[in-house]
Amino acid sequence: MRRKIVFSLAAFFLVFGLVALGYRQLSASGNAGYVIIGIGDWVLETSLYFVIIFLTLLFIALYLGLRFMTGAAKLPDSIKKRNSEQRSKRSLEALVAGLIETIEGKWEKAERNLIRHAADSRLPLFNYLTAARAAHARGASEQRDDYLKLAQRNAPEAELAVNLSRAKLLMGTHQYEEALEQLTEINRTHGNHPVVLRMMCEAYTRTRDWDALHHLIPVLRDAKLMPETELKKLEVEAYRTLLEKRAMTRDPTRIREIWRRVPGNVRTEFAVVMPYCRGMIDAGMGEEVEEDLRLALGRDWEPELLQLYSRIETADVSRQLRGAEDWLGPHRDDAQLLHVLGRFALRADQEEKARDYLQRSLELDPTMEACKLLGDLLFEKKDVAAAGVIYRQGLKLAAKEPVDSEALSKAAAILAPQVAQTAAAEAGH
Protein backbone atom coordinates (compact mmCIF):
# COMPACT_ATOMS: atom_id res chain seq x y z
CA MET A 1 0.00 0.00 0.00
CA ARG A 2 2.73 2.49 0.94
CA ARG A 3 4.62 1.67 -2.25
CA LYS A 4 1.56 2.54 -4.35
CA ILE A 5 1.15 5.94 -2.62
CA VAL A 6 4.82 6.77 -3.16
CA PHE A 7 4.63 5.88 -6.85
CA SER A 8 1.41 7.91 -7.29
CA LEU A 9 2.87 11.03 -5.66
CA ALA A 10 6.09 10.69 -7.65
CA ALA A 11 4.11 10.49 -10.91
CA PHE A 12 1.99 13.47 -9.92
CA PHE A 13 4.95 15.69 -9.05
CA LEU A 14 6.72 14.64 -12.23
CA VAL A 15 3.75 15.69 -14.38
CA PHE A 16 3.30 18.86 -12.33
CA GLY A 17 6.99 19.72 -12.75
CA LEU A 18 6.85 19.18 -16.50
CA VAL A 19 3.76 21.44 -16.81
CA ALA A 20 5.34 24.15 -14.62
CA LEU A 21 8.51 23.97 -16.65
CA GLY A 22 6.54 24.33 -19.88
CA TYR A 23 4.58 27.26 -18.54
CA ARG A 24 7.74 28.93 -17.37
CA GLN A 25 9.22 28.62 -20.84
CA LEU A 26 6.08 30.10 -22.37
CA SER A 27 6.12 33.02 -19.91
CA ALA A 28 9.75 33.71 -20.68
CA SER A 29 8.92 33.98 -24.39
CA GLY A 30 6.00 36.31 -23.66
CA ASN A 31 3.35 33.83 -24.83
CA ALA A 32 1.97 32.59 -21.53
CA GLY A 33 -1.57 32.70 -22.99
CA TYR A 34 -4.92 32.87 -21.30
CA VAL A 35 -8.11 30.74 -20.99
CA ILE A 36 -11.73 31.81 -21.53
CA ILE A 37 -14.53 29.58 -20.17
CA GLY A 38 -18.12 30.43 -21.08
CA ILE A 39 -21.20 28.78 -19.56
CA GLY A 40 -24.40 30.50 -20.77
CA ASP A 41 -24.20 34.17 -19.88
CA TRP A 42 -21.37 33.49 -17.49
CA VAL A 43 -17.84 33.99 -18.84
CA LEU A 44 -14.59 33.35 -17.06
CA GLU A 45 -11.33 34.68 -18.40
CA THR A 46 -8.12 33.78 -16.59
CA SER A 47 -4.48 32.96 -17.15
CA LEU A 48 -3.24 29.55 -18.14
CA TYR A 49 -1.15 29.46 -14.98
CA PHE A 50 -4.25 29.70 -12.77
CA VAL A 51 -6.05 26.99 -14.78
CA ILE A 52 -3.08 24.65 -14.37
CA ILE A 53 -3.02 25.21 -10.61
CA PHE A 54 -6.78 24.77 -10.40
CA LEU A 55 -6.79 21.54 -12.39
CA THR A 56 -3.90 20.24 -10.34
CA LEU A 57 -5.71 20.90 -7.09
CA LEU A 58 -8.90 19.41 -8.52
CA PHE A 59 -7.01 16.28 -9.53
CA ILE A 60 -5.52 15.97 -6.05
CA ALA A 61 -8.94 16.42 -4.44
CA LEU A 62 -10.56 13.84 -6.71
CA TYR A 63 -7.71 11.38 -6.16
CA LEU A 64 -7.82 11.71 -2.37
CA GLY A 65 -11.61 11.48 -2.42
CA LEU A 66 -11.54 8.31 -4.45
CA ARG A 67 -8.85 6.86 -2.20
CA PHE A 68 -10.91 7.69 0.87
CA MET A 69 -14.08 6.17 -0.59
CA THR A 70 -12.23 3.04 -1.68
CA GLY A 71 -10.62 2.67 1.73
CA ALA A 72 -13.97 3.22 3.47
CA ALA A 73 -15.57 0.53 1.30
CA LYS A 74 -12.80 -1.95 2.12
CA LEU A 75 -12.66 -1.08 5.79
CA PRO A 76 -15.00 -3.89 7.02
CA ASP A 77 -13.04 -6.49 5.09
CA SER A 78 -9.76 -5.06 6.33
CA ILE A 79 -10.97 -5.15 9.92
CA LYS A 80 -12.26 -8.68 9.44
CA LYS A 81 -8.99 -9.80 7.87
CA ARG A 82 -6.97 -8.17 10.62
CA ASN A 83 -9.08 -9.82 13.30
CA SER A 84 -8.75 -13.16 11.53
CA GLU A 85 -4.99 -12.79 11.41
CA GLN A 86 -4.92 -11.92 15.09
CA ARG A 87 -7.07 -14.94 15.94
CA SER A 88 -4.86 -17.20 13.82
CA LYS A 89 -1.82 -15.82 15.57
CA ARG A 90 -3.37 -16.45 18.99
CA SER A 91 -4.39 -19.93 17.85
CA LEU A 92 -0.84 -20.73 16.75
CA GLU A 93 0.50 -19.47 20.05
CA ALA A 94 -2.08 -21.61 21.86
CA LEU A 95 -1.08 -24.67 19.81
CA VAL A 96 2.57 -24.20 20.68
CA ALA A 97 1.71 -23.61 24.33
CA GLY A 98 -0.57 -26.68 24.33
CA LEU A 99 2.16 -28.88 22.90
CA ILE A 100 4.62 -27.67 25.53
CA GLU A 101 2.08 -28.16 28.33
CA THR A 102 1.28 -31.65 27.05
CA ILE A 103 4.95 -32.59 27.14
CA GLU A 104 5.24 -31.12 30.64
CA GLY A 105 2.22 -33.13 31.80
CA LYS A 106 -0.11 -30.17 32.36
CA TRP A 107 -2.98 -32.06 30.75
CA GLU A 108 -6.02 -29.98 31.72
CA LYS A 109 -4.36 -26.63 30.97
CA ALA A 110 -3.14 -27.92 27.61
CA GLU A 111 -6.61 -29.19 26.78
CA ARG A 112 -8.23 -25.83 27.53
CA ASN A 113 -5.73 -23.86 25.47
CA LEU A 114 -5.96 -26.17 22.49
CA ILE A 115 -9.75 -26.42 22.32
CA ARG A 116 -10.43 -22.72 23.05
CA HIS A 117 -8.58 -21.65 19.89
CA ALA A 118 -9.15 -24.73 17.70
CA ALA A 119 -11.90 -23.04 15.67
CA ASP A 120 -9.53 -20.20 14.67
CA SER A 121 -6.58 -22.47 13.90
CA ARG A 122 -5.33 -23.01 10.40
CA LEU A 123 -4.41 -26.52 11.56
CA PRO A 124 -7.37 -27.64 13.70
CA LEU A 125 -6.38 -31.28 13.18
CA PHE A 126 -3.27 -30.80 15.31
CA ASN A 127 -5.22 -28.96 18.01
CA TYR A 128 -7.74 -31.78 18.36
CA LEU A 129 -5.17 -34.58 18.13
CA THR A 130 -3.00 -32.98 20.80
CA ALA A 131 -6.06 -32.33 22.97
CA ALA A 132 -7.03 -36.00 22.55
CA ARG A 133 -3.59 -36.99 23.76
CA ALA A 134 -3.92 -34.75 26.81
CA ALA A 135 -7.40 -36.12 27.59
CA HIS A 136 -6.15 -39.68 27.22
CA ALA A 137 -3.23 -39.00 29.55
CA ARG A 138 -5.57 -37.86 32.31
CA GLY A 139 -7.87 -40.87 31.79
CA ALA A 140 -10.76 -39.08 30.09
CA SER A 141 -11.44 -41.67 27.38
CA GLU A 142 -14.83 -40.26 26.36
CA GLN A 143 -13.40 -36.76 25.97
CA ARG A 144 -10.50 -38.23 24.00
CA ASP A 145 -12.87 -39.93 21.56
CA ASP A 146 -14.87 -36.69 21.18
CA TYR A 147 -11.73 -34.79 20.23
CA LEU A 148 -10.78 -37.48 17.74
CA LYS A 149 -14.21 -37.23 16.13
CA LEU A 150 -13.82 -33.46 15.87
CA ALA A 151 -10.40 -33.97 14.29
CA GLN A 152 -11.85 -36.30 11.68
CA ARG A 153 -14.76 -33.95 11.04
CA ASN A 154 -12.39 -31.04 10.42
CA ALA A 155 -10.05 -33.13 8.27
CA PRO A 156 -11.97 -36.01 6.61
CA GLU A 157 -8.95 -36.82 4.47
CA ALA A 158 -6.97 -37.62 7.65
CA GLU A 159 -9.20 -40.50 8.77
CA LEU A 160 -6.34 -43.00 8.78
CA ALA A 161 -4.09 -40.65 10.78
CA VAL A 162 -6.84 -40.07 13.35
CA ASN A 163 -7.54 -43.80 13.79
CA LEU A 164 -3.85 -44.60 14.04
CA SER A 165 -3.47 -41.87 16.67
CA ARG A 166 -6.18 -43.51 18.77
CA ALA A 167 -4.53 -46.93 18.44
CA LYS A 168 -1.13 -45.50 19.42
CA LEU A 169 -2.62 -43.77 22.45
CA LEU A 170 -4.20 -47.04 23.58
CA MET A 171 -0.97 -48.96 23.10
CA GLY A 172 0.96 -46.29 24.94
CA THR A 173 -1.08 -47.07 28.07
CA HIS A 174 -0.95 -50.87 27.52
CA GLN A 175 -4.59 -51.14 26.44
CA TYR A 176 -3.66 -53.68 23.82
CA GLU A 177 -7.04 -55.37 23.49
CA GLU A 178 -8.77 -52.10 22.62
CA ALA A 179 -5.88 -51.12 20.36
CA LEU A 180 -6.21 -54.41 18.49
CA GLU A 181 -9.90 -53.76 17.88
CA GLN A 182 -9.01 -50.41 16.34
CA LEU A 183 -6.13 -51.85 14.32
CA THR A 184 -8.23 -54.74 13.02
CA GLU A 185 -10.82 -52.25 11.80
CA ILE A 186 -8.14 -50.14 10.11
CA ASN A 187 -6.68 -53.23 8.48
CA ARG A 188 -10.04 -53.99 6.88
CA THR A 189 -10.14 -50.61 5.14
CA HIS A 190 -6.39 -50.15 4.58
CA GLY A 191 -5.15 -53.68 3.97
CA ASN A 192 -1.55 -54.48 4.96
CA HIS A 193 -0.61 -50.90 5.79
CA PRO A 194 3.01 -51.04 7.08
CA VAL A 195 2.38 -49.03 10.25
CA VAL A 196 -0.75 -51.05 11.06
CA LEU A 197 1.05 -54.37 10.57
CA ARG A 198 3.91 -53.32 12.84
CA MET A 199 1.51 -52.20 15.55
CA MET A 200 -0.53 -55.40 15.27
CA CYS A 201 2.66 -57.44 15.62
CA GLU A 202 3.60 -55.55 18.78
CA ALA A 203 0.08 -55.86 20.22
CA TYR A 204 -0.10 -59.63 19.57
CA THR A 205 3.33 -60.07 21.14
CA ARG A 206 2.37 -58.04 24.21
CA THR A 207 -0.89 -59.95 24.67
CA ARG A 208 0.88 -63.25 23.88
CA ASP A 209 -1.70 -64.05 21.25
CA TRP A 210 0.63 -66.45 19.47
CA ASP A 211 -2.12 -68.05 17.41
CA ALA A 212 -2.96 -64.73 15.77
CA LEU A 213 0.71 -63.81 15.47
CA HIS A 214 1.67 -66.97 13.60
CA HIS A 215 -0.95 -66.06 10.97
CA LEU A 216 0.45 -62.51 10.76
CA ILE A 217 4.12 -63.49 10.38
CA PRO A 218 3.85 -64.55 6.67
CA VAL A 219 2.26 -61.16 5.89
CA LEU A 220 5.10 -59.38 7.69
CA ARG A 221 7.63 -61.45 5.76
CA ASP A 222 6.01 -60.68 2.40
CA ALA A 223 5.93 -56.98 3.25
CA LYS A 224 9.62 -57.11 4.32
CA LEU A 225 8.87 -54.96 7.34
CA MET A 226 11.20 -56.76 9.76
CA PRO A 227 14.62 -58.45 9.60
CA GLU A 228 14.47 -62.19 8.96
CA THR A 229 16.28 -62.93 12.23
CA GLU A 230 13.63 -61.07 14.21
CA LEU A 231 10.80 -62.78 12.32
CA LYS A 232 12.29 -66.21 12.96
CA LYS A 233 12.63 -65.41 16.66
CA LEU A 234 8.93 -64.53 16.73
CA GLU A 235 8.06 -67.72 14.85
CA VAL A 236 10.02 -69.88 17.27
CA GLU A 237 8.33 -68.27 20.26
CA ALA A 238 4.88 -68.52 18.67
CA TYR A 239 5.12 -72.19 17.72
CA ARG A 240 6.82 -73.12 20.97
CA THR A 241 3.93 -71.67 22.96
CA LEU A 242 1.28 -73.19 20.68
CA LEU A 243 2.88 -76.64 20.91
CA GLU A 244 3.13 -76.38 24.70
CA LYS A 245 -0.58 -75.55 24.92
CA ARG A 246 -1.53 -78.42 22.61
CA ALA A 247 0.76 -80.79 24.51
CA MET A 248 -1.27 -80.17 27.65
CA THR A 249 -4.29 -81.77 25.92
CA ARG A 250 -2.36 -85.06 25.36
CA ASP A 251 -4.21 -85.32 22.08
CA PRO A 252 -1.72 -86.38 19.36
CA THR A 253 -4.06 -85.23 16.58
CA ARG A 254 -4.14 -81.67 17.89
CA ILE A 255 -0.37 -81.67 18.46
CA ARG A 256 0.24 -82.87 14.88
CA GLU A 257 -2.08 -80.13 13.59
CA ILE A 258 0.26 -77.43 14.94
CA TRP A 259 3.41 -79.32 13.93
CA ARG A 260 2.27 -79.45 10.31
CA ARG A 261 2.07 -75.64 10.27
CA VAL A 262 5.65 -75.18 11.53
CA PRO A 263 7.94 -74.05 8.67
CA GLY A 264 10.89 -76.32 7.86
CA ASN A 265 13.52 -73.81 9.01
CA VAL A 266 11.80 -73.57 12.41
CA ARG A 267 11.33 -77.32 12.95
CA THR A 268 15.05 -77.69 13.58
CA GLU A 269 14.99 -75.29 16.54
CA PHE A 270 15.49 -76.91 19.95
CA ALA A 271 12.82 -74.70 21.54
CA VAL A 272 10.21 -76.04 19.07
CA VAL A 273 11.29 -79.69 18.89
CA MET A 274 11.24 -80.03 22.68
CA PRO A 275 7.53 -79.31 23.37
CA TYR A 276 6.46 -81.27 20.28
CA CYS A 277 8.34 -84.43 21.24
CA ARG A 278 7.41 -84.15 24.91
CA GLY A 279 3.74 -83.76 24.02
CA MET A 280 3.77 -86.75 21.68
CA ILE A 281 5.59 -88.92 24.25
CA ASP A 282 3.10 -87.92 26.94
CA ALA A 283 0.31 -88.82 24.49
CA GLY A 284 1.80 -92.32 24.06
CA MET A 285 3.23 -91.66 20.58
CA GLY A 286 6.92 -91.81 21.45
CA GLU A 287 7.92 -94.07 18.56
CA GLU A 288 6.51 -91.51 16.11
CA VAL A 289 8.96 -88.83 17.25
CA GLU A 290 12.00 -91.07 17.82
CA GLU A 291 13.57 -90.08 14.51
CA ASP A 292 12.89 -86.37 15.15
CA LEU A 293 14.60 -86.65 18.54
CA ARG A 294 17.60 -88.50 17.10
CA LEU A 295 18.06 -85.80 14.45
CA ALA A 296 17.66 -83.07 17.07
CA LEU A 297 20.31 -84.68 19.28
CA GLY A 298 22.60 -84.83 16.26
CA ARG A 299 22.22 -81.05 15.83
CA ASP A 300 22.08 -80.02 19.50
CA TRP A 301 23.39 -82.31 22.20
CA GLU A 302 21.06 -81.11 24.93
CA PRO A 303 20.44 -82.97 28.23
CA GLU A 304 16.69 -82.28 28.01
CA LEU A 305 16.47 -83.93 24.58
CA LEU A 306 18.44 -86.96 25.78
CA GLN A 307 16.17 -87.26 28.81
CA LEU A 308 13.16 -87.19 26.51
CA TYR A 309 14.70 -89.82 24.25
CA SER A 310 15.19 -92.13 27.22
CA ARG A 311 11.43 -92.09 27.80
CA ILE A 312 10.66 -93.55 24.38
CA GLU A 313 9.78 -97.25 24.53
CA THR A 314 10.05 -98.97 21.17
CA ALA A 315 9.11 -102.49 20.13
CA ASP A 316 12.74 -103.24 19.17
CA VAL A 317 14.67 -102.19 22.26
CA SER A 318 17.91 -103.77 21.04
CA ARG A 319 17.87 -101.64 17.91
CA GLN A 320 17.21 -98.54 20.04
CA LEU A 321 20.16 -99.48 22.28
CA ARG A 322 22.50 -99.96 19.30
CA GLY A 323 21.43 -96.64 17.85
CA ALA A 324 22.07 -94.86 21.15
CA GLU A 325 25.48 -96.51 21.50
CA ASP A 326 26.55 -94.70 18.33
CA TRP A 327 26.66 -91.53 20.42
CA LEU A 328 29.39 -92.97 22.64
CA GLY A 329 32.03 -91.92 20.10
CA PRO A 330 31.77 -88.15 20.65
CA HIS A 331 30.19 -88.43 24.13
CA ARG A 332 32.02 -91.30 25.82
CA ASP A 333 32.27 -89.51 29.17
CA ASP A 334 28.71 -88.17 29.24
CA ALA A 335 27.21 -89.46 32.50
CA GLN A 336 23.64 -88.89 31.35
CA LEU A 337 24.20 -90.83 28.11
CA LEU A 338 25.69 -93.74 30.08
CA HIS A 339 22.65 -93.62 32.37
CA VAL A 340 20.30 -93.76 29.36
CA LEU A 341 22.28 -96.63 27.83
CA GLY A 342 22.01 -98.49 31.14
CA ARG A 343 18.25 -98.04 31.11
CA PHE A 344 17.98 -99.27 27.51
CA ALA A 345 20.22 -102.26 28.32
CA LEU A 346 17.94 -103.20 31.22
CA ARG A 347 14.92 -103.09 28.92
CA ALA A 348 16.78 -105.29 26.46
CA ASP A 349 17.68 -107.74 29.31
CA GLN A 350 21.38 -107.10 28.79
CA GLU A 351 22.24 -106.93 32.48
CA GLU A 352 26.02 -106.95 32.11
CA LYS A 353 25.93 -103.95 29.80
CA ALA A 354 23.43 -102.25 32.07
CA ARG A 355 25.69 -102.74 35.12
CA ASP A 356 28.70 -101.45 33.23
CA TYR A 357 26.95 -98.36 31.90
CA LEU A 358 25.28 -97.51 35.21
CA GLN A 359 28.50 -98.02 37.17
CA ARG A 360 30.42 -95.71 34.81
CA SER A 361 27.62 -93.19 35.01
CA LEU A 362 27.76 -93.16 38.80
CA GLU A 363 31.52 -92.77 38.76
CA LEU A 364 31.26 -89.69 36.54
CA ASP A 365 28.22 -88.06 38.08
CA PRO A 366 26.14 -89.87 40.71
CA THR A 367 22.37 -89.36 40.35
CA MET A 368 19.36 -90.68 42.23
CA GLU A 369 17.93 -92.24 39.05
CA ALA A 370 21.11 -94.20 38.31
CA CYS A 371 21.28 -95.37 41.94
CA LYS A 372 17.71 -96.60 41.73
CA LEU A 373 18.29 -98.51 38.49
CA LEU A 374 21.48 -100.15 39.78
CA GLY A 375 19.87 -100.84 43.15
CA ASP A 376 16.88 -102.49 41.46
CA LEU A 377 19.23 -104.67 39.42
CA LEU A 378 21.06 -105.81 42.58
CA PHE A 379 17.76 -106.44 44.36
CA GLU A 380 16.55 -108.63 41.49
CA LYS A 381 19.78 -110.63 41.80
CA LYS A 382 18.90 -111.25 45.46
CA ASP A 383 21.85 -109.20 46.71
CA VAL A 384 19.87 -107.19 49.21
CA ALA A 385 22.92 -105.88 51.08
CA ALA A 386 24.55 -104.44 47.98
CA ALA A 387 21.21 -103.02 46.84
CA GLY A 388 20.84 -101.39 50.25
CA VAL A 389 24.22 -99.69 49.84
CA ILE A 390 23.21 -98.30 46.47
CA TYR A 391 19.81 -97.16 47.72
CA ARG A 392 21.48 -95.47 50.70
CA GLN A 393 23.76 -93.51 48.37
CA GLY A 394 20.69 -92.47 46.40
CA LEU A 395 19.06 -91.18 49.59
CA LYS A 396 22.20 -89.20 50.34
CA LEU A 397 21.93 -87.59 46.94
CA ALA A 398 18.30 -86.74 47.65
CA ALA A 399 19.37 -85.13 50.92
CA LYS A 400 22.20 -83.33 49.06
CA GLU A 401 24.85 -85.11 51.11
CA PRO A 402 28.20 -86.33 49.67
CA VAL A 403 28.11 -89.93 48.41
CA ASP A 404 30.63 -92.70 49.09
CA SER A 405 32.10 -93.44 45.65
CA GLU A 406 34.02 -96.45 46.96
CA ALA A 407 30.87 -98.00 48.37
CA LEU A 408 29.13 -97.50 45.05
CA SER A 409 31.96 -99.21 43.17
CA LYS A 410 32.05 -102.19 45.57
CA ALA A 411 28.30 -102.65 45.43
CA ALA A 412 28.30 -102.51 41.61
CA ALA A 413 31.24 -104.96 41.44
CA ILE A 414 29.18 -107.60 43.25
CA LEU A 415 27.13 -108.05 40.08
CA ALA A 416 30.08 -109.09 37.94
CA PRO A 417 30.54 -112.66 39.25
CA GLN A 418 26.79 -113.19 39.42
CA VAL A 419 26.41 -112.19 35.79
CA ALA A 420 29.29 -114.50 34.86
CA GLN A 421 27.72 -117.42 36.80
CA THR A 422 24.38 -116.82 35.12
CA ALA A 423 26.04 -116.87 31.70
CA ALA A 424 27.93 -120.10 32.50
CA ALA A 425 24.76 -121.80 33.74
CA GLU A 426 22.94 -120.85 30.57
CA ALA A 427 25.84 -122.24 28.48
CA GLY A 428 25.75 -125.56 30.46
CA HIS A 429 22.12 -126.04 29.61
In the prediction, which pLDDT does 30 show?
Answer: 56
Whether residue 325 contacts residue 298, with contact meaning beta carbons closer than 8 Å, is answered with no
pLDDT of res. 60: 73
What pLDDT was estimated at residue 308? 92
Considering the entire predicted model, what is its pTM? 0.66
- Going 307 to 309 to 313 to 317, the CA torsion angle's sign is negative
* pLDDT tens-place values along the chain, 429 residues long: 566 666 666 666 666 666 666 656 656 655 556 667 777 677 777 766 676 677 777 777 777 777 777 766 766 665 666 655 666 666 666 767 767 776 777 777 777 777 776 666 677 787 788 888 888 888 888 888 888 888 888 888 888 888 888 998 888 888 899 999 999 999 888 888 899 999 999 999 999 999 899 889 999 988 888 899 999 999 999 999 999 999 999 999 999 999 999 998 899 999 999 999 999 999 999 999 999 999 999 888 999 999 999 899 888 888 999 989 999 888 988 989 998 998 899 888 888 888 888 888 888 887 788 778 777 777 777 777 777 777 777 777 777 777 666 666 666 666 554 443 443 344 344
Q: What pLDDT was estimated at residue 21?
A: 65
